[in-house]
């Protein structure tokens, strides 16, 4: 249970970082943290696709941790 909680916190922080690294689509919060600068430096579509895949993978792990913790809480007594 502790391992799932630790994985949930680390995954949440990493997921936040990955979301902020995405290329800005319309002047969102990523522009505040230099999103426009990074999009001019390396706007490769392959890099963006890989970033999308990594983000989705981390989000799935994060979701599985939440469901796992919920099931443990429900059936642990």
Burial of 71 (0-12, 13-18, 19+ CB in 10 A): exposed
pLDDT in tens, 20-63: 998 776 655 656 666 555 555 555 789 889 999 999 999 999 99
pTM exceeds 0.95: no
Question: 55 to each of 31, 34, 36, 40, 63, how far by Cα in Å?
Answer: 19, 19, 19, 21, 12
Across residues 2-7, what is the average pLDDT?
A: 95
Burial of 65 (0-12, 13-18, 19+ CB in 10 A): buried
Closest alpha carbon to 31 in 52, 39, 68: 39
> For residue 63, what are its two tokens?
């979701």
């Amino acid at each position: 249970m502790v391992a799932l909680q630790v994985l949930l916190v680390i995954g949440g922080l990493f997921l936040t970082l990955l979301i902020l690294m995405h290329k800005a689509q319309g002047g969102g919060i990523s522009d505040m943290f230099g999103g426009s600068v990074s999009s001019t430096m390396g706007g490769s579509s392959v890099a963006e696709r890989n970033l999308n895949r990594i983000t989705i993978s981390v989000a799935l792990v994060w979701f599985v941790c939440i469901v796992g913790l919920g099931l443990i809480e429900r059936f642990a007594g």
